[in-house]
């Protein structure tokens, strides 16, 4: 894969996430975050299978969603057991 193809994949991924995903900080419930995480994991697997390349932003975004999910789980835990 050459640099042009990598850049095109990265731009396509950015356009896809900008159209279809909310920012992790805008997510207000666990169901929404879990949906985005599953969709993002599917997209990562698709890129690995089809192109043998995954944009770094995909892993970064997945990390941000996981951090937000952990934050919401912690808040729910404190609310229930406090």
Q: pTM for this one?
A: 0.89
Q: How much is the pLDDT for 33? A: 96
Q: How much is the pLDDT for 39? A: 95
Q: How much is the pLDDT for 82? A: 75
Cβ neighbourhood burial of 19 (10 Å; 0-12, 13-18, 19+) = exposed
Number of separate domains in the chain? 1
Q: How much is the pLDDT for 11? A: 96
Give the structural domain span for 67. 3-81
Residue 37: which pLDDT band, with cuts at 50, 70 and 90? very high
Residue of 61, 67, 69 lying closest to 17 (CA atoms): 61
Convert 4-37 into a string of H (helix), E (strand) and C (coil): HHHHHHHHHHHHHHHHHCCCHHHCCCHHHHHHHH
């Amino acid at each position: 894969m050459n640099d042009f193809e990598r850049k095109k994949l990265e731009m396509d991924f950015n356009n896809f996430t900008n159209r279809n995903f909310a920012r992790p900080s805008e997510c207000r419930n666990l169901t929404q975050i879990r949906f985005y995480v599953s969709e993002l994991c599917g997209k990562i697997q698709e890129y690995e299978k089809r192109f043998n390349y995954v944009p770094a932003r995909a892993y970064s975004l997945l990390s941000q969603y996981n951090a937000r999910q952990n934050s919401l789980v912690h808040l729910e835990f404190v609310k229930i057991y406090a």
